[in-house]
Each structure stands twice: as C-alpha cells, then as structure tokens.
Amino acid sequence: MPKNDVVVGLDIGTTKVCCVIGEVSREGNVEIVGNGSTPSSGMSKGVVLDIDKTVKSIEGAVAEAERMAGFNIGPVYAGVSGEHISSLNSHGVISVASSDKEIVEEDVKRVIEAAKVLSIPSDREVIHVIPRSFSIDGQNGVKNPVGMSGIRLEVDTHIVTGVSTFLQNVNKCVQKAGLELEGNAIVLEPVASSLAVLNEAEKELGTVLVDIGGGTTDIAVFLNGGIYHTAVLPVGGNHVSRDIAVAFRTPPEEAERVKIEYGWVSVEQVEEDQDFQISTLSQGEPESISLKRLAEIIEPRVEEILSLVKQEIFRVCGEEVFLAGVTLTGGTSLLKGMASFAEKVLGLPVRLGVPGNVPGMVESLKSPVYSTSVGLVLYGARNRQDRKYRMRHPQYFKVIWSRISHWFKEVF
C-alpha cells in the first residue's frame, strides 16, 4: 500500500496512452512510483473515435503502471486536447464583503465566479478558469490577495472551454476502464505540460510552450507570470508519418519507425548523406532511401506546423516580446534538428522541454514524450495541496463561522 497520498496522471493521446502514478508527501513533494504506456488506436486529433479501443489502451497503460507501483490506483487526472478546445480572457469585479475590508478566500471565489459570467454556447462547457492576476483598488499585479485589505477586488482570468460531448466521451472511456476522474477533473494538456517543463522565471519573462504530439499541436502562452492564451492546432507528428508513408508506399508503422530513427527536419542539416532500408507495400526487397530524400519529405510538413504556430502566436499576442523564447515539447520535438529549425521559422529562441527532475522518475520518463503525463501528476499534487491549504487556513474558517453566525441571527 502507498505511504502517502496518490495522484495519477492519465495522458490519453492520439498515438499513445500513458499513465503515471505519483505519491505526494504531507509537504507536497511528489515522487513517481509507477508508469505505463501503450499505443493508442481509438483517438484522432485528440478526439475519441472508438471507445472500446481507447478503453483497451487505457487498461493496458494502467495495468503496467500498477504493476510497477505495487498497488491499484483510484481516481485520475485525465488530459484533454483537440481542435474543439477554445479559450478567452475575462475580467471579474466585486466589492469586498467583510466589514473590516480584509480579503478572504470567499472573496477570491466570488470574483472568479464573476469572471465566469459569460455567454458560452450550450454545446460547450468550461474546463478551466485560471486566475492570471488580481487587482485591489486599482493596484495591479497582485498574485494572492487573501489577507490584504481593500474595497474593490478585480481579477483577470483565462477561461478554457471544450465541446461537452467530446469531454463526456473522455469521461466514458475512463469509467469503462474501471476508473473515475478526480473531482471530474479533465485538464487541458498544455496546462499540465507547462508544470513539467517551464519554470516561474520563464512564465514571468514571457514564453510560449509548444507541445507537438501525434494528432495535435498544443500552444500555451505565458506573460507576466500568468497564462495568457491557449490553442490546439489539428496537426502533429502523425501528419509527418503519413507523408512518409505516401511518398515511399510504406505501412504506417514503418513510416513511424523511419521518422523516429532517421528523420531530419531539414535537408540542410543532413551533414553526411547516407542510405537506409525501408519496407514497402510491394512485399519485395526493402528499398534504399537517402537521408536527404527523407528530409525533403519531412521539412515542408514541419515548416507548415511551425508556421501555423507562429500565426497563432502573433494573431493573439501581436508584437509581444517573449524574452524566454519558445519551449518545444511532445514526441515530435525529438525529430533531429527540430530546435534550430524552429528558431529559423519562428524567429525566437527555442529550447527542448523535458519533464523536470521529479524524484523516482526513471530515465524513460525524462523525455518530451511524457511532459503531459508527468505534468498531470504535478497538477493533481498542486490541486490536492491547495485544497488542504484552504481547509487549514484561518481565513477559510473565518468565512464558515461568519455564515453560521449569520444563520443563527436569522433563526433566533
């Protein structure tokens, strides 16, 4: 049995399903104690297309992680992506309720609720309401207003929504696999990935996280320490593999293998042109293909993906200066020469983002492939600690006692 609280991250991706199990100490420290990964065949571009196949993939990844951890898991935090995701920024304003004008946790909840009063289509539901910064009586840039004094409390939030039916299908897959979502928590994948690969200084200076997965490319923009914009583009590494499969008439799994083992992003980066063997649909002898010929197939598609990322960044952020540049993560970021090629296309400094040094992490998890699944565990751990803090914090009980006193006065 686990010694501490258990948090489980479940990354249900287009190409793989990954389950990571973490134990969280009383101090909030996370240790990875189990992980499992299986190919995914029921998803496309972040959306469930076949529930039974997706459930089977989830069960395989969970079983592997449970064997490693030595115990069965409970609720999970599941990641979500897909073209149906959209985001917007909203502003909320309230008057501080208490007579002494001290801001308490209840005031923070009320102002966030005020920011949620938006006209959202009936087929969509809110996934996240993320506070970016608070303002007290016109003083901007407040990170945590609890305990401070003021009359007027404002908040800038980032709100993420998704199509209800698509989100429900993810929940169905989790339930059919014998699991449940912790607090009905579905987490936007770039939000989770950011916890694994970005530090606070980068978020403060301004940075863009680009997670290039199999079916989608997820974007999260951070400015002044808060999340400013998120987006999901319906292109990813699978499109590169498909181009290879079509160009060389090879099965999809062979195209994926070739991409991973021999793929360079740009022809210019291939210093020594060599040949490699690739199996084709003709069932004859494997054909010899040069590295440069393969790069000629890969380069246009990767340039297209990065150009779409650039358009999205500048469409929303204009000429904002991202002093910390761009962090690339996700499986497709491992293509040879990706970082330098991305710098050329995006016109910004680029680094490769890998999950931070979390205790218990095996070497295989220290890869951009697992940024989301590790990030989901960190997200869950932070969520648990926040709940415990609110329960212990004196201001929390102050609000509860105030409500009880008010009720007694009304009754008696």
Please give the structure tokens belonging to residue 115. Answer: 């920011």
What pLDDT shows up at residue 2? 72
Domain membership flag for residue 118: yes
Inter-axis angle of helices 291-317 and 252-262, nearest 10: 90
pLDDT tens for each residue of 346-358: 999 999 999 987 8
Q: Read off the amino acid at residue 306.
A: L
Domain membership flag for residue 94: yes
C-alpha to C-alpha distance for 58 and 54, rounded to whole angstroms: 6
Residue 213 and residue 232 in contact, taking contact as beta carbons nearer than 8 Å:
no
C-alpha to C-alpha distance for 17 and 373, rounded to whole angstroms: 9
Please give the structure tokens belonging to residue 194. Answer: 């950011």
What pLDDT shows up at residue 393? 52
What pLDDT shows up at residue 399? 47
Domain membership flag for residue 114: yes
Domain membership flag for residue 176: no
CATH number (domain holding residue 135) = 3.30.1490.110
pLDDT tens for each residue of 296-329: 999 999 999 999 999 999 898 887 788 899 999 9
As for how many domains the chain has, the answer is 1
Domain membership flag for residue 367: no
DSSP-based three-state secondary structure for 383: helix
CA distances from 222 to 160, 206, 321, 341, 343 (A): 15, 5, 11, 22, 18
pLDDT in tens, the chain (412 residues): 676 789 999 999 999 999 999 999 888 889 999 999 999 989 988 899 999 999 999 999 999 999 999 999 989 999 999 999 999 999 999 999 888 899 999 999 999 999 988 888 999 999 999 999 999 999 998 989 999 999 999 999 999 999 999 999 999 999 999 999 987 679 999 999 999 999 999 999 999 999 999 999 999 999 988 999 999 999 999 999 999 999 999 999 999 999 999 999 999 999 888 999 999 887 678 889 999 999 999 999 999 999 999 999 989 888 778 889 999 999 999 999 999 999 999 999 999 999 987 888 888 899 999 999 999 999 999 887 766 555 555 454 454 444 444 443 443 3
What pLDDT shows up at residue 395? 52
Domain that holds residue 117: 86-160
CA distances from 318 to 312, 337, 393 (A): 10, 27, 41
Nearest residue to 186 (alpha-carbon basis) of 161, 152, 211, 205:
161
Domain membership flag for residue 109: yes
What pLDDT shows up at residue 25? 87
C-alpha to C-alpha distance for 220 and 187, rounded to whole angstroms: 13
Domain membership flag for residue 404: no
State CA 33 to chain mean position distance.
Answer: 21
What pLDDT shows up at residue 387? 61
What is the rounded end-to-end Cα distance, in angstroms, of the chain?
A: 50
Residue 333 and residue 218 in contact, taking contact as beta carbons nearer than 8 Å:
no
**Cα-Cα-Cα-Cα dihedral of 54, 58, 61, 66, to 10°?**
-170
Hey, how many other C-beta atoms are within 10 angstroms of the C-beta on 91?
A: 13
Domain membership flag for residue 138: yes
